[in-house]
Amino acid sequence: MNEAYLEVTFRHGQALAAYLYLPRRPGQKSYRTSQVEPGLVIDFMARRNNNDTEL
């Protein structure tokens, strides 16, 4: 993935979740996931860079 993009999941016509994907190299995986506040989850890579964000 070369560019950041936003993906929104809908259920019954209402937004259920939004995922903000940030650029990463092929094969990179999340190392750790942290809920930083209710409704906000962040995936981190091994070097502690933000990988993806779920809203």
What's the pLDDT tens digit per position in 6-54? 999 999 999 999 998 888 878 888 888 889 899 888 888 776 555 555 5
Give the per-residue pLDDT at 53. Answer: 59
Give the per-residue pLDDT at 50. Answer: 57
Distance CA 16, CA 50 (A): 22
Distance CA 1, CA 23 (A): 5
Q: How far is CA 18 from the centre of its chain?
A: 8
Task: State pTM to two decimals.
Answer: 0.65
